[in-house]
Amino acid sequence: MNAALLTVLPLAGTGDAVVPGSSTGDAAVFWVLAPIMVLASLGLLFARKAVYAALSMAVVMVSLGGVYVALEAPFLGMVQVFVYTGAVMMLFLFVLMLVGVDSSDSLVETIRGQRLVGALAAGGFLAFVLVALGRTAWPTPVGLSAVNEAGNITGIAERIFSRYVFAFEMTAALLVVAAIGAMVLAHRERSGERATQRTISENRLKRGQRMTPLPPPGVFARHNAVDTPALLPDGTPSELSVSRVLQARGQTLTTGTLVEHVPAIQEDMDPDGRGSRTHGARLDGKPDDTRPTRPEPHEPAGRSDRADEES
Amino acid sequence: MSAVIPMSGLQAVPATGVESLAWLLVVIPLLSAGVLLLAGRAADRWGHWLGLAASAVAFVVGALVFFSVLGHGAEERARSVAGFSWVPAGTFQVDAGLLVDPLSLSFVLLITFVGTLIHVYSVEYMAHDVDRRRFFAYLNLFIAAMLLLVLADSYLLLYVGWEGVGLASYLLIGFWNHRIEYAVAAKKAFVVNRVGDFGLSLAIMAMFVSFGSVQFDDVLSGAAGASETWLTVIGLLLLLAACGKSAQFPLQSWLGDAMAGPTPVSALIHAATMVTAGVYLVIRSGPIFEGAPAATLAVAVVGAITLLYGAIVGAAKDDIKKALAASTMSQIGYMMLAAGLGPIGYVFAIFHLLTHGFFKAGMFLGAGSVMHGMNDETDMRRFGGLRRVMMLTWVTFGLGWLAIIGVPPFSGFFSKDEIIHAAFEGEGLRPWVLGTITVIGAGITAFYMSRLFFMTFHGRKRWHDGTVAPEPHPHESPVLMVAPMVVLAIGSAALGPVLYYTGALESWLEPVFTAPPELEPVVNLDLVTAVTLLVIVAGVALAFLMYLRRDVPVVAPRGNALTRAARADLYQDDVNDIAFVTTGTAFVRGMGEVDDDLVSRGAVGGVTRSIRAAGAGLSRLQTGFVRSYALSMFAGVALVVGALLITQI
Amino acid sequence: MDLMNWVYLSVVLFTIGGATVLVRRNAIVVFMGVELMLNSANLAFVTFARMHGDLDGQTVALFVMLVAAAEVVIGLAIIMAIFRARRSASVDDANLLKY
């Protein structure tokens, strides 16, 4: 085939004797994209947070798409961007988020000698292969302009649906199996009876848990954001009204700071001081200790509701 | 010995017509045996008839082939039946084919004819045995193997038949293997035969080394140019094989015990056919022995020793079958001696083999008939006077008796006389020694066979003295048993004179053998015949005096030292025990200890220990960290690339 | 510029991907290292396709992408399953199969 292409090439009418890949445009693409890709991949290697690693990986993928286009493989370039950057990398990010951003590993090595030997192996591999490549005599690049004359997609399609048709059909089976496999792996068998509304409420009663819905946050005109606890009828702030995630992160307004604001607020609401006294009985800043404590305060954020329903 | 001339008969021409059906001779009995063994109890009702039919068809095919071959000129009577390429291993090529020539056809006719008669006999003899079908299966297996043995055109194929008859013999000796001593007898026969089989396999290997082939035509025509050393080695190994199969000294000890098998088996396998396979082997390998005078002499010496040995043992045995077995040994000793005389004796060996096949088979069947009427009693001291109640058996047995002791004009006289004459031919001391032994052997044969005959059929009836329970009621056997005996008796009487006076056998076998050199007898042969007859008469007279005139005690007297030794097979078993069994057991036990101490605990144990230690050490590498494994892979890839790089530089 | 530079680049990327597999403990990052290695191989394929003027290289690269996509689906599902069972996405925590 090569010989045939070599004879065809002059007829393709490229005219100039420029060796494919040696043009200035190619060089520009290389010198722009190659450092970006190397740096981004180094980011994958060294980034402390997994999300940063995934994002640098996405950079590499997108750059590779550009490289493919430059290398006369426009179809592959598109697929690279669509499939890899669009689907695969987003799947990675999705799983990363699902697993938890905070599970990013520390860069402290736990296996003795792993890092040193790994660096030696990688460096040795790189050096050996580069030397071996450098010592190899390569043929003069032929280029794909002749082959791509009918269109790159057409050329690839001809191959996929003729010579590689069996392999292509096998990939279909592979993808189906992969999809089913993912479903099997992600599926969780229900261990007990499905909890009905009745059983859930009965369980709540048995455990003495809270019967009513949680109070919504931030009813004060001054602070109606989710990080602001609501005030109970007696004027005490309710910690139940704030998301536990925010509490765990220390991102809520504490009741203490809020209480400091109470006199000023009352001042605003009732400048005459004739307001309802009954409401101000406990406005001394002390928390209301008679309230039931929150159930399972140590449950990780975002998972407690589920655990309640299943138990 | 004269210069060796390859057997002219071995330039075999391809078989045509009915001769190419010779494969059927082997295949039909084999198929029948397979059917009988596989069909199981379902075949119990008709199995024996199938076995009989297979044997009879084999005889018919054999006869057809015989007449077809007879139609050719004397020089064209060796026909080769192409088979298939059996062992195509590089330079070692063995084709499985059949060689149909006068020698093998003689055996084929003997085997199938006597075999069929004995099948007929067995139908009745084994009628009350629940395993009659299995018995016929084994008999057919034997027929097939024996025919393969004599029809094979290479030593390797012969070896297959050789082992096949050994197997069949083992199975049939131990047919009643619920009796432990019978099973032991079968094992003994098998083990002793193995010794001989080793000789044959080594001989085949030696042939391959020296001739590069194991086909008869290659080996036998190549024997002329081979070194005498190799020929002697091969000849002695073949002799060892023959000794094992034909119960010749020093491997004769199994034959007496082999009488444990049913009597038809003794008649067919251990009298008429299988035990003569050794003679066939020696005669078939004639050119090898002609190039190795030492081996030939060894054959004659072995024959002479066994001749006397069997005769002496036979004179002391009280068990009718064991006496006949000893007689068989002795008679095969005659044949071996004749074969050891070189080409001059070959025809006579075959002649005696054929007549012996008839009269000895006939006598065994007679013995079976007697046992049949006597509640399976075999002790001759409890027989006597059976002539009146078993007239036909008496007549047929009597014809066999006259034939074996060499009374003219019965068969044995001609065949044995020829061997005696041949033994006296030659120069120097050898003819005198061998000739004298044959004459003495003839005398002892006359004595012990007469003893057997008189003790069984004449004298006082010793079977109804009240000591035997249940009281036997001897009677003549049924017609199916008597008919084969009659046929064989006619053969015993007539085969010898017919073949002798027509010269048919000599002219028939003549193209197979080298022309014997003209040798002068050392004495007048007529004188030899006269002396032989005198000796025979003396033997019969002695037996008459000792066992007919005098009463035969039911309990054997102690006897003199020679009698006691002969009763104990001349202590052959004890010699074997001391020489081989005891030392062999001790040796094996010692090797077992060496094996335990050095090999098992030392070498093998050391290997396991070191491997276990190495495994324990290497398993530390299994950290469970997938990154460690990935690291070793990556480092390995780097090393491989580096190694490739280095080798390229 | 030499077309071989792309090959050198692919070797560098491959090595970095391999080093990621060796060094990082987060299973997802390790997996991304594997993806980087596959992509560098694709780059070499595409480069050689151009060098030899033969679309076979691009076709193979396409198949590699297909297989990699299937592999990602399964691999991430396995990581999810392990995480659900062990509350950890570290490859070092799944080390029970050992001496």
Q: Which residue has the higher pLDDT, B482 or A17?
A: B482
Q: Which residues pair with A238 in a beta bridge?
A: A230
DSSP, res B215: B
Q: Which residue has the higher pLDDT, A69 or A219?
A: A69
The answer to whether B623 contacts C92, with C-beta atoms less than 8 Å apart, is: no
Closest partner CB to B619 (pick from C22, C25, C99): C99
Distance of alpha carbon B517 from alpha carbon A161, whole angstroms: 89
Residue B98 has pLDDT above 70, yes or no: yes
Q: Which residue has the higher pLDDT, B467 or B195?
A: B195
Whether the CB of A114 is below 8 Å from some CB of chain B: the reply is: yes
A5: pLDDT confidence band, cut at 50, 70 and 90? very low
Of A285-294, B295-304, B407-416, which range is least confident?
A285-294
Distance of alpha carbon B179 from alpha carbon B167, whole angstroms: 19
Residue A108 has pLDDT above 80, yes or no: no
Average pLDDT over residues A71-88: 90
A253: pLDDT confidence band, cut at 50, 70 and 90? low
pLDDT for res A166: 93
Strands B79-89 and B13-14: parallel
Alpha-carbon separation of residue A83 from A156, A179, B425 (angstroms): 17, 16, 107
The answer to whether B645 contacts A117, with C-beta atoms less than 8 Å apart, is: no
Cis peptide before B250 (omega within 30 of 0): yes
Residue appearing with tokens 């070498």: B603
Q: Is B466 left (phi over 0), alpha (psi -120 to 50) or beta?
A: left
Of A20-29, B298-307, B441-450, which range is least confident?
A20-29
3-class DSSP state for residue A55? Answer: helix
Contacts of C16 (CB under 8 A, 6+ apart): A38, A41, A42, A44, A45, A122, C33, C36
Distance of alpha carbon A121 from alpha carbon A119, whole angstroms: 5
Å between B617 CA and nearest CA of chain C: 10
Å between B632 CA and nearest CA of chain A: 9
pLDDT for res A296: 43
Average pLDDT over residues A229-254: 72
Reported as a single tens digit per residue, the pLDDT across B395-407 is 888 998 988 888 8
User: What is the edge-to-edge ordering of all strands in the sheet holding B79-89?
Assistant: B13-14, B79-89, B92-100
pLDDT for res A291: 45
Average pLDDT over residues B587-592: 88
**Torsion sign across C-alpha atoms B423, B424, B428, B432:** positive
pLDDT for res C32: 92
Contact B468, B383 (CB under 8 A): no
The answer to whether B628 contacts A132, with C-beta atoms less than 8 Å apart, is: no
Closest partner CB to B635 (pick from A117, A131, A132): A117
The answer to whether C53 contacts A44, with C-beta atoms less than 8 Å apart, is: no
Reported as a single tens digit per residue, the pLDDT across B259-299 is 888 888 888 888 888 888 989 999 888 888 888 888 889 99
pLDDT for res A10: 39
DSSP, res B597: I
Residue B62 has pLDDT above 80, yes or no: yes
Contacts of C34 (CB under 8 A, 6+ apart): C17, C21, C75
Residue B78 has pLDDT above 60, yes or no: yes
Residues 603-642, chain B: which have Cβ within 8 Å of A?
623, 625, 627-628, 631, 634-635, 637-639, 641-642
Residue B380 has pLDDT above 70, yes or no: yes
Reported as a single tens digit per residue, the pLDDT across B416-444 is 888 888 888 888 888 888 888 999 999 99
**Torsion sign across C-alpha atoms B133, B139, B142, B143:** negative
Of A159-168, A203-212, A273-282, which range is least confident?
A273-282
* Phi and psi torsions of B596, nearest 5°: -60, -50
DSSP, res A41: H
pLDDT for res A279: 45
Average pLDDT over residues A192-202: 84
Q: Is B508 left (phi over 0), alpha (psi -120 to 50) or beta?
A: alpha
B6: pLDDT confidence band, cut at 50, 70 and 90? very low
Reported as a single tens digit per residue, the pLDDT across B454-464 is 888 888 777 76
The answer to whether A95 contacts C56, with C-beta atoms less than 8 Å apart, is: no
Distance of alpha carbon B608 from alpha carbon B601, whole angstroms: 10
Contacts of B42 (CB under 8 A, 6+ apart): none
The answer to whether B641 contacts A129, with C-beta atoms less than 8 Å apart, is: yes
How far separated are the first and last CA of chain C, in Å rounded? 52
Reported as a single tens digit per residue, the pLDDT across B21-59 is 888 888 999 999 999 889 888 888 888 899 899 999 999
Residue B218 has pLDDT above 80, yes or no: yes
Average pLDDT over residues B83-101: 81
**What angle do helix axes B293-316 and B430-457 make, rounded to 10 degrees?**
30
Å between B637 CA and nearest CA of chain C: 11
The pair of structure tokens assigned to A284 is: 């001394």
Share of chain B above pLDDT 70, in %: 97
Reported as a single tens digit per residue, the pLDDT across B499-558 is 888 877 878 887 777 777 777 788 888 888 888 899 999 998 988 888 887 777 777 777
Q: Which residues pair with B79 in a beta bridge?
A: B13, B100
Contact B263, B191 (CB under 8 A): no
Q: Which residue has the higher pLDDT, A13 or B187?
A: B187
**What angle do helix axes B132-151 and B277-284 make, rounded to 10 degrees?**
10
Average pLDDT over residues B448-476: 77
Contact B238, B196 (CB under 8 A): no
**Torsion sign across C-alpha atoms C74, C77, C82, C88:** positive
Reported as a single tens digit per residue, the pLDDT across B603-617 is 888 888 999 999 888
Arithmetic mean of pLDDT over chain B: 85
A303: pLDDT confidence band, cut at 50, 70 and 90? very low
* Secondary structure (DSSP) of B352-389: HHHHHHHHHHHHHHHHHHHHHHTTT--BGGG---TTTT
pLDDT for res A9: 38
Residues 62-91, chain C: which have Cβ within 8 Å of B?
91
Amino acid at B239: L
Reported as a single tens digit per residue, the pLDDT across C1-60 is 688 889 999 999 999 999 999 988 888 999 999 999 999 999 999 999 998 888 999 999
Reported as a single tens digit per residue, the pLDDT across C46-95 is 999 998 888 999 999 999 999 999 999 999 999 888 888 878 888 887 77
The pair of structure tokens assigned to B59 is: 């005889």
The answer to whether A160 contacts C66, with C-beta atoms less than 8 Å apart, is: no
Residue B240 has pLDDT above 50, yes or no: yes
A293: pLDDT confidence band, cut at 50, 70 and 90? very low
Burial level of B578, CB count in 10 A (0-12/13-18/19+)? exposed
Contacts of B76 (CB under 8 A, 6+ apart): B13
Residue A16 has pLDDT above 50, yes or no: no
Q: Which of B623, B645, B647 best probes binding to A when mutated, by most A CB atoms within 10 angstroms?
A: B645
Distance of alpha carbon B358 from alpha carbon B271, whole angstroms: 9
